[in-house]
Chains A and B, each alone.
Chain A
Amino acid sequence: MIHANKVMMLIRREFWENRSLWITPLVISGVLLVSAAFSGGPAGDGHGGLHFGPQVDGEVLMNPDPAKRDGIYAGYIGVLTLVQLAVLGIVVFFYLLDCLLSERKDRSILFWKSLPISDTEVVLSKALTALVLAPLIVLAVSAATQILFGAILWLRFHNSALGGWVTVWNPLVWLKVQVGSLVLVPAVVVWYLPLAGYLLLVSVWARKNAFLWAVLPPAAVLLVEAMILQSHNFADFLGRRFAGAFMIMDLPTDDGQSAPSLMVFVSHVARVFTHAETWLGVLVAIGFIVAAIRIRRYRDDS
């Protein structure tokens, strides 16, 4: 039986211990905004501008089509979220690897085990922290960052010649980007669930060096297969596990001329949810997580 209130408390505890989960997005947001405030314009001659957006050439800027200019703006603020999500991936990777090992390293597991909380509640709280709460925080920070970013652009450029040509603030575009993110993130999370489950399993099993335990076995399989069988099936499999979601989405490429409309974007992203491979991965992930819960029951380093 799982008590929701206990799981909520345990999730709060995860953010007390792992402050990087909420400090990192704030720091990144700060860096992005400072660079937006002090760098060159978002286009001009195409050099020395804000480099984290799609490349915009002068021709597009001269194009009076408002839809295209909005598309460029959506690309700019969408990239702010993508930067955050890329860093989140790294933070969550190390969080999951460490979360069930560190409690044994510092022996605090004996304190946690003295409380009426089940192994299921503990492991679930860690999985929910990494896969639901941390992404939600990043999306919230990103949404706020994009508004501030728009405000900075507006302040800098609304009176200049550029202001007439590029969108410097458009609430409707902002809203569309939020909707797009809220669809994209769950699709990516669901796709990566087996990896998350694998990391939890390594974390609960390893006595130290969780990173090596996570990386070396697959690396060894890669090497052995390449040397003995001279094939690369496992490499293909890993590649598919990492990039598969984006291959399935097959998002229309953004050539800077026209960004995909929200409907098109969402319909492409939603392909992940209807793909059998996604749900096969979910089943594997459930297996990993159940195994992690079982192992934590009697895991003891003392």
Chain B
Amino acid sequence: MTTIIEARGLTKNYGDTPALRGIDLNVQAGRIVGLIGPNGSGKTTAIKSILGLTGFDGELKVLGKDPRTERNDLMNEVCFIADVAVLPRWLKVSQALNLVGGIHPRFDRKRAEDFLARTDIRLDRRVRQLSKGMVTQLHLALILAIDARLLVLDEPTLGLDLLFRRSFYDNLLNDYFDKERTILVTTHQVEEIENILTDVIFLQHGKIKLDVAMESLGERFTQLVPMAGNVEAARALKPFYEREVFGRVAMLFDGRAAAELAPLGETRAPSVADLFVALMGGSAADGRAEGAGASKEAA
């Protein structure tokens, strides 16, 4: 396995305000990592550090290079889509193809043209004449045609309707992703990408709250809805989160085997969204969420 991103004690302060408080990351090739956190959690700062767009303290290697000093080399193998609004509005679609073709040594123009042919985007259009969804499609067409090892997506589908969001991720999986490539994606819409992720990282207040591979998520976390008489027995097993839904209690356990919990009620693997709410809910959540096993183990 090749390490694509390795960070140790990654720290960044904006004046007196800490944005990242010493995070450790290890991203391997061929993974799709979701970096998930509320606004102000440090997601964007982490991504900017990885892309060499901001300075930082601590150790960080991306494809074995330091983004602060080797950014120019790094960008030959790293692509990113920052947000739907960043393609220059005066740019014509045909010019965009010429431009990226003239600049990027790993751009396959034919691939981009084939992708565009499947959309309603015409080559003589300027970006300002395209809808928001089409701008994203154009950006995706350019990116998909670049043979990069790491693709970073920061809220790539912000402001798009459901159909565009869905097809964006479908295209990403079908036309781009393979074992050699790695994708790091941030988003607010956890539920939409959780089935494509191989890893999730939760960030809160500049710290990593959870860093887990999807394949071990089901083994590690269990959701239990105990039968009426078993609530106290279930509580004795120390769930780290519980909430009440339609008069029944749902509890989340970290590190308890489903078999151990099954006699008490219904068990299932929690979704990433369930975990997100449980771990990041903060004051809205039950006090039990604080100091729960999950955050201790992740730290």
Contacts and interface: CB of A to CB of B under 8 A. Distances in A.
Nearest to B80: A114
Given A16-B91, A16-B95, A115 B103 contact: yes
B104 interface: yes
B76 A116 contact: yes
A108 B88 CA distance: 5
A166 B83 CA distance: 65
A6 B103 contact: yes
What secondary structure prevails in chain B residues at the interface with A?
loop
Contacts of B92: 16
B55 A111 contact: no
A113 B51 contact: yes
A298 B53 contact: yes
A114 B100 CA distance: 10
B75 A114 contact: yes
Interface residues of A, number: 25
- Most chain B CB inside 10 Å of its own CB: which residue of A111, A117, A300: A111
B267 to A, nearest CB: 44
- Most chain B CB inside 10 Å of its own CB: which residue of A6, A12, A17, A113: A113
A13 B101 CA distance: 12
- Most chain B CB inside 10 Å of its own CB: which residue of A1, A10, A298: A298
B49 to A, nearest CB: 11
Interface in A6-36: 6, 8-10, 12-13, 16-17
A116 B95 contact: no
A298 B55 contact: yes
Number of chain B interface residues as a range: 20 to 34
A211 B158 CA distance: 34
Interface string A100-136: 0001001111110111111000000000000000000
A204 B103 CA distance: 22
Contacts of A298: 53-55
A5 interface: yes
Nearest to A9: B102
B79 interface: yes
B233 interface: no
B81 interface: yes
Contact of A113 (B53, B91, B98, B102): B53
A293 to B, nearest CB: 12
10 contacts: A5-B102, A6-B102, A9-B98, A9-B99, A9-B102, A10-B103, A12-B99, A111-B82, A114-B81, A115-B104
Across the A-B interface, give the 10 residue pairs with the lowest CB-CB distance, nearest first.
A9-B102, A110-B82, A108-B88, A116-B75, A110-B86, A111-B86, A116-B76, A118-B72, A114-B80, A107-B86
